[in-house]
Structures are given as C-alpha cells and as structure tokens.
Amino acid sequence: MKTMQSLIRLLALLSLGGAPLAHASAEISGPAKVGRSAWLLHFDSDWKNASGLPEKAMLIGLQGLANRTAPRLYITHADDFPWEITGPIAEFYQRKHGVQFTALKTADEALTQFAQYAKGYVVWDPAVMPTMNVAYTIAGLEDAVIVTPALIPLVAKHGLKPIDDLRGRYAGMTDVQIYAEAKGRYWARCSHDKLMLMGGHAGDMRIPGVADWGVRERMFFHDLSANPAQPDEVELEKQFFSEMNPGGFVFGWHSYAKDTEEQHTTLTSTFGLRMEGLQSLPNLSFNCQFSFTPGFRFANQHHVDRATKLVAEKKVYLAFVQSDGIGLGVWTKPGRGRLSLAWSAIPSWLEFSPAALEYFHESATAADYFIGGLSGPSYMYPNHIPAERFDGLMREAVRQMERLDERVFEILDNSAADGNVGNADLTKATVDRYYAAFPNVIGFINGYGPARTRDLRDTRPMISYDYYVDPKRPRDEVTADLNELIALNQKRPYFCMVHVRESNDVNSLVEVIKNLRGPVEVVPVDTFMKLAASNQTYMTRYQDPDDPKHFEGYTR
C-alpha cells in the first residue's frame, strides 16, 4: 500500500511537467541540456529468480543500452529498496533539469520504446545463475538484451534476433570454470578501467541494479570470490585485477554467499583498485549524463574556519557520523536535522552521479555536514594499498574534497576486522601517509566499528570511533554503553566519536542523548576536531602487531 502511494505521488509529481517532448530532443551528447524528455519505469520489490528477476534483469540491461548516448530511461524503486532516493532524485531531475518523464507501465511498453537500441538478445539459463553475468557481458559488447527462455517471445515480438544462447554451454561447470571460459571469449574487448562484480544476494534472488552501468560501459560481469577458502576463484579474480588499468574501478558488490565485504575490499585495495558499491545501485547510466545545474557550487555548512583555534572545556564532547553509502537509509527517514550529523558523501559521484550529490547538498539541513572518504577516492582499505599507488589515489581524493568543500576525511580499514567488530586500526606507516597526503584537512576520522588509532600532529587530530550504534541494539542499552564510556574515560575533556549505522532512527538517538550522564555536549564534526586539537586527552596509538587479526590479507 505504501509503495503504491509513493508511486502515485511520484507519478502525480512528474505529470506536472506536461507531455514529453519529441524523442529526438534527447539526442545530445555531453552534459545534459535543460528541458528534455525521458521515460520512467517503476519496479516493485520482487527480485526472486523464479518470478520478478528475469524481466527486471532484461529491463535494466535495456536501460544501459537506451542510455548509451543520452539519458532516456530512469527506474524508480519500491520503498523497501536499499536505495531510497530514486524517487526524490527523479523529482530533482524534473525540477532542476527540466526532465519530463513519461511513465512506462510494462516491459512491453519499454521494449516498444527502446528495442531500437538493441541489436538482438542473449539467452541465459536460470538454472546456471552465472550465465546471467556472462549474458550481461555479451549484452554490453554486442548491444543485446538478456532474456530467459520464457522471455524470448516478448523480445522477438519487438523484432530482436538471437545473438547468443548460453543454455547448455556452461552446464555442469563450476563458477571459476564458467568465468575463465568467458574471460577467454570476452575480456579482451571489455573495459579494463571498469569491472563489474555482480554479487550481492545469492540463493533465490538477485538485485542487479547497477547492471545498466555495466552494460553501458561494456564491463565484464562476474561474482568471483575473494574468500581464501575458494583459492581458484581468488586466483582468477587476481588475474582480472592485475590486468586492469591503474586506478581502475570495481563496481558492484561481493557475493553474500561466497565471501565477505572485508575480504573483497582487501583484495581490490591490494591492487590499488577503487571499490564502488553496491550491486543494487540504480540509474548510473542515466545519472552520469547530467552535470551540476548552472551556478551550483558545493558550500558545506562549516562551523569553524580552517584557522580557528578552539579550547575544549572540561566536558564530554560527542560527534555523530553516518558513513555508509549516503542514500542508504537515514537521509530520507524522519528526524534528520534534529541531531548534528556528519555524512560521508560518495565522492566518485562527482563523476558518475553529479545530480545525486547536488540533491543531497540541496536537501541538507543546518544539522548536516559533509565529510570526505571513505579512505580514498572510493572505498578502499589503506593498509593494503600498494605504496606506489597511494599518493596518486589520495591526490584524487584531495581534489574531490576541494570540489565538495569538505575538510574532514574519514578512513576505514576493516581488513583485519570481523564485520563491524575487531581490529579496524591503521599502521603507523599508513597514518604517516595520510598526514602527508592531506595537509589541508582539519582532522581525520578512523573506523567503522570502534577502533583505537589516534594521533594529533600539528593541529590535525586523528580520532577513531569510540562507539558504533547498532540499529538493532535497544536504546536503553545504547544509553548505558555511552554512559559507560563516559565513566571509563574519566579525564575531561573526553572526545567521543560515534558512528551511526545507516538504518538508525535519528529520533531515537536524540532520546539517547537526553539520558547521558555528565557534562555532555554534542558538537558538529568540524568543531569536534578543533576541540580535540586543543587538548590531547586521548592516547596516540596505531595498529599493534600483537593485536588480533581476523584476516591477514593477500599477496599480489
């Protein structure tokens, strides 16, 4: 019901823009022009392999083809979709870029409109799921849509001819055998700047939301494992990574069934590659074709000047940060604006999704403050970035921060952690590199779960999270946890950095703060850094070689 209401609201909003312009008006290149037509599909929540996936997989691939030369097709999603911003950003396109959307109601309507951008179809086998990824690879190279056998009549009706049929070709083969065979066939023609890790959910569902981008950019699709328990898959993935161009991107996400986020990000970082999540991220093929609106400049809401010197009082200073992918969760939930909160925007969206960044800045409240990260120009684990790649990557991160008007940089290395617990610390060598690479920041934040890397050099503190707010933890226990930290850290000032997991409810955190004991003050992150620079009551510490490590990493 809620989903239907959202759709009705969205379509009503979009209909205000009037009738679509002639289709030819969208035939432009370069930054999008004001006043254009585009089409809009709305997806429900059914991503099951046996029901909703095949049609959605076909349409997302078709979106990549339709958006090759102009932004023509945009997809909005149900309220429970991981990225909750597809509706608000569609509204932003209409309002700020003059995009006039026409709703498409069915796959048949979408094919009627966009089959002209496909040269044919590739058949994948739902009984051999990696064939969906191979089909997507072929789709990008051959301008094909991907279909299951059941969908052949639909695409044939629109005049599409068979280009390839994967049924039987990979029967009985392991994943590594399938991808090795496909590598031999297709990899040479694929992009070596961008690779698609189409993992995520396994079992009876998939959400290949970012496949449009992979098709548009002619990427190789796979879901190889970075789990050392599957050494053949790791070795094949290393081959791909070693053959990519320096500074290349890995889009998508790891397979939840094969390995962990920590393992995969460690592996990409070991090769100096930039990880860009998630596998569900929608509409990049559309978003990448818009620039910022004329006259727009990022103006972060700084609370202190770079040169300001503050003196901390004998208080407990708390600062809150939300560092998961912006657009996942909290941003669109009630309560934002009631608590001073720092947000880690996704800096590579300067390149791939500028309108989304502009939307976030435009809709920021006075309590929202943007910070740089995560760890580099994309999501990376710095303890594992090759030394010869580090400075080049960080120069790009510095450039991003300057454009985004950000002054605090956030770092995360979870390579030795076990999810959001365990060892998330930086070696001293890594800390040294950051201080050298970011001379103009006013401070660094480290961690995801709690960590204990801390430093203060000149006026730039490096502070790790002292607490991670698990969204499932009862609020009275969160209150007790924070009060216990305040009791154990007896010196004043005490600087307590708190990480707010994406799906937390801000309103509940406001109530937690009301029940904290002692001389507590919540401050914005930039103010926090200036205060922390004035009185180092925290211990300087780096990753200790004796600290337990859940995972040691890889050799290249």
Partner 1 sequence: MFGRFFAKRVDSKRAQGVNCPVPMKTTALKRMILGGLFALGLTAALAANPALAGRWRLDTARSSTLDGWHSMDLVVALNGSQVGLTHHMQWRTTKFAATNSYDTARAVDLKNYFRVEQRHMAVYPAKGGITHATAAWLDGGRTLRLEVETPVEVSQGNVTMRIYSEYRLGELGDTLTLIELHSSRERPLVYVFNKVTGEEKK
Binding site for partner 1 (CB under 8 A): 418-422, 449-452, 454, 464-470, 473-474, 476-477, 480-481, 483-485, 487-491, 494-496, 517, 537-539, 544, 546, 550
- Residue 24 Cβ vs partner 1, minimum distance, rounded to whole Å: 54
- Residue 265 Cβ vs partner 1, minimum distance, rounded to whole Å: 16
Cβ distance to partner 1 smaller for residue 132 or 485: 485
- Residue 545 Cβ vs partner 1, minimum distance, rounded to whole Å: 11
Cβ distance to partner 1 smaller for residue 396 or 470: 470
Buried b (16+ CB within 10 A) or exposed e, 476-512: eebbebbbebbeebeebbbbbbbbbbbebbbeebeeb
Q: Token pair for residue 391? A: 């400075």
- Nearest residue to 197 (alpha-carbon basis) of 235, 169, 176, 225: 225
- Residue 257 Cβ vs partner 1, minimum distance, rounded to whole Å: 12
Return all residues near 387 (Cβ < 8 A) that are at least 6 apart.
433
Planar angle of CA 191, 193, 199, nearest 5 degrees: 80
Cβ distance to partner 1 smaller for residue 69 or 515: 515
Beta strands in 426-551 (DSSP E): 443-446, 455-457, 460-469, 494-500, 520-522
- Residue 425 Cβ vs partner 1, minimum distance, rounded to whole Å: 11
Residues 244, 553: Cα–Cα separation, whole Å: 20
Cβ distance to partner 1 smaller for residue 182 or 424: 424
φ, ψ at 387 (rounded to 5°): -55, -35
- Residue 485 Cβ vs partner 1, minimum distance, rounded to whole Å: 6
- Residue 289 Cβ vs partner 1, minimum distance, rounded to whole Å: 40
Cβ distance to partner 1 smaller for residue 182 or 226: 226
Cβ distance to partner 1 smaller for residue 330 or 424: 424
Q: Under the phi-then-psi rule, with left for phi > 0, alpha for psi from -120 to 50, and beta for the rest, what region is 481?
A: alpha
- Residue 380 Cβ vs partner 1, minimum distance, rounded to whole Å: 23
> Strand, coil or helix: what is 536?
coil
- Residue 496 Cβ vs partner 1, minimum distance, rounded to whole Å: 8
Q: Token pair for residue 278? A: 């998630």
Are 474 and 296 spatial neighbours (Cβ–Cβ below 8 Å)?
Answer: no
Alpha helices in 274-315 (DSSP H): 284-287
Cβ distance to partner 1 smaller for residue 458 or 546: 546
Q: At what angle do helices 175-186 and 130-142 cross, to 10 degrees?
A: 10
- Residue 508 Cβ vs partner 1, minimum distance, rounded to whole Å: 15
Q: Which residues sit opposite 319 in a β-bridge?
A: 497
Alpha helices in 251-370 (DSSP H): 261-270, 284-287, 349-352, 354-362
Q: At what angle do helices 2-15 and 86-97 cross, to 10 degrees?
A: 10
Cβ distance to partner 1 smaller for residue 422 or 524: 422
Return all residues near 3 (Cβ < 8 A) that are at least 6 apart.
44, 45, 78, 79, 80
Cβ distance to partner 1 smaller for residue 469 or 509: 469
- Residue 538 Cβ vs partner 1, minimum distance, rounded to whole Å: 5
Identity of the residue numbered 327: G
Alpha helices in 405-489 (DSSP H): 428-437, 475-488
- Residue 498 Cβ vs partner 1, minimum distance, rounded to whole Å: 10
Q: Under the phi-then-psi rule, with left for phi > 0, alpha for psi from -120 to 50, and beta for the rest, what region is 405?
A: left
Cβ distance to partner 1 smaller for residue 315 or 389: 315
Cβ distance to partner 1 smaller for residue 274 or 501: 501
36-42 vs 99-104, strand pairing mode:
parallel
- Residue 229 Cβ vs partner 1, minimum distance, rounded to whole Å: 11
Buried b (16+ CB within 10 A) or exposed e, 126-140: bebbbbbbbbbbbbb
Cβ distance to partner 1 smaller for residue 274 or 499: 499
- Residue 488 Cβ vs partner 1, minimum distance, rounded to whole Å: 5
Count the Cβ atoms, other than its own, within 10 Å of residue 397.
24
Cβ distance to partner 1 smaller for residue 3 or 483: 483
Buried b (16+ CB within 10 A) or exposed e, 421-447: ebbbbbbeebbebbbebbeebbbbbbb
Cβ distance to partner 1 smaller for residue 21 or 202: 202
Are 287 and 355 spatial neighbours (Cβ–Cβ below 8 Å)?
Answer: yes
